[in-house]
Amino acid sequence: DTHVQGDLCWHFCACVRIFFARTVTMKVIHCPSLQISPLCQRVTLVTGRENVTPRALPSIQNSPNGLRNGASKLKASKATRTVKCAAMAEGPPFRWQGLHHTGFIIENLERSLEFYCDKLGLEVNEARPGPEKLPYRGVWLWLADDMIHLMELPNPDPTELSARAKHGGRDRHICVGIEDIAPLTALLDQHGVPYTASASGRPAIFFRDPDSNTIEVGENLKWKNQ
C-alpha cells in the first residue's frame, strides 16, 4: 500500500507540473505585451525579452523546476537567434535622405545652452524657426551637418538619474561620430560631466545633458554611404 500511495503521489505531482507548464505556455502566447501584471512580468523573462523588470526575477527563481529549466533553455537559444528585417520585395516607393535633426525635451533653455554651447562648442542655427513661430521656447543647434532641436516643454520621462539606466547605452540616446575622442573626454573631465565607456571596448562614450538626454559619441564611425 505504501508503494502504491507513493506511485500515485508521484504521478499526481507529475501531472500537476505538466498542467502548470502548459497553462503558463498558453498564457505566454495570449499575454498582452503591454499588460503590467505578475504573470506578464514572469513571461517577459521566460520568453527571452530584454526588458525584464526587477520584480520579475524573484518570481522566476521561486517557480517550479520546469520554468527554471525552460528559462535556461530559452536563454541559451537566444544567443544563436538572429533578428531579420522583412524588407519590401522592390524597396519602398520613396528614398530616405537621412536624419534631419533630433529633438530633445529640456526644462531650462539657458541651462541647456550653457551645456551644449559653452561646454560642447555647438552653435545655434539662426535660420531655423524659434519662439516667434513655435508655441514654446527652443533653439536648433548645429552638430556637424545635422541638428539638435532643444524644446522647452514638459517632460513625460523622469529626469532623475536614479530613475534611468545607469549606462546611457541602455537608455534612449543619439549617436554621433567624432574624429578623435580623447579631446572630448578631456573637455568633459574639465567641466565635471560624467560619462561611461562602451562595454564593447571600442572608442565610444555615453554621457547625459542636464535633462538626462543621452548622447553616444564614437570615434571614426562608418555610416552615411561610407
Name the pLDDT band for 7 (thresholds 50, 70, 90): low
Burial of 106 (0-12, 13-18, 19+ CB in 10 A): buried
Single-letter amino acid, residue 78: K
For residues 115, 119, 121 and 126, what is the CA-based torsion angle, rounded to 10 degrees?
Answer: 30
Q: pLDDT (tens digit, 9 = 90+) per residue, 87-108?
A: 777 888 898 888 899 999 999 9
Average pLDDT, the chain: 75
Packing angle of the helix pair 38-46, 2-30 (nearest 10 deg): 90
Q: What angle do CA 147, 151, 154 make, to 5 degrees?
A: 150
Nearest Cα residue to 112 out of 181, 186, 212, 205: 212
Q: What angle do CA 201, 206, 208 make, to 5 degrees?
A: 170
Sorted by sequence, the CB contacts under 8 Å of residue 52 that are 6+ apart come out as: 41, 44, 45
Name the pLDDT band for 68 (thresholds 50, 70, 90): very low
What's residue 207's pLDDT? Answer: 97
Displacement of CA 180 from its chain's centroid (Å): 26
Q: What is the mean pLDDT of residues 1-21?
A: 53
What residues does 207 pair with on adjacent strands? Answer: 195, 215
The lowest-confidence range among 59-63, 142-146, 193-197 is 59-63
What's residue 91's pLDDT? Answer: 83
What does the DSSP 8-state code read for residue 145? Answer: T
The lowest-confidence range among 79-88, 92-101, 170-179 is 79-88
What's residue 83's pLDDT? Answer: 73
